[in-house]
Amino acid sequence: MIGIDLIRLDRIQRSMERFGDKLLQRYLSTEEISLIKNSKTAAGFWAAKEACSKALGTGIGKECSFHDITLSKTPKGAPVITLSKGLVQKYKIVDSSVSITHDGDYAIAVVAIETEK
């Protein structure tokens, strides 16, 4: 299953200016917040979580919350996506991967999820 999301950087920038840390806490864990360098990074993480929920076919909501999806980085800075135990069991997920990119005014993320056959 594949999901993709696109978000304007200024949307996250305005929200960060208006709501500060409350915005980040809404969709990121403390560990994820520590990786946020600026609104560009925050937008990429938002897009990745949205793309993941789309790959699952649920969207963000009751079945899959922002906090069921965790992002981290490898030592070289590549993003890594980890899903909650509940999601892994419910959807029989065996592997997942994420790619995040930025171009101009946008952050774009693609998530691929492999399930048991």
Contact 53, 5 (CB under 8 A): no
Question: CA 60, CA 66: separation in Å to the nearest integer?
Answer: 7
Please name which of 31, 117, 38, 26 lies closest in space to residue 82, comparing C-alpha atoms.
31
Residues 6+ apart with CB under 8 A from 74: 80
* H-type alpha helices, 1-117: 9-19, 21-27, 30-33, 39-56, 85-91
Please name which of 110, 105, 83 lies closest in space to residue 2, comparing C-alpha atoms.
110
pLDDT string in tens for the chain (117-residue length): 999 999 999 999 999 999 988 999 999 999 999 999 999 999 999 999 999 999 999 999 999 999 999 999 999 999 999 999 999 999 999 999 999 999 999 999 999 999 997
Q: Which residue among 54, 62, 67, 73 is the active-site one?
A: 54
Quote the pTM value.
0.95
67 is an active site residue: no
Q: Which residue among 73, 90, 102, 117 is the active-site one?
A: 102
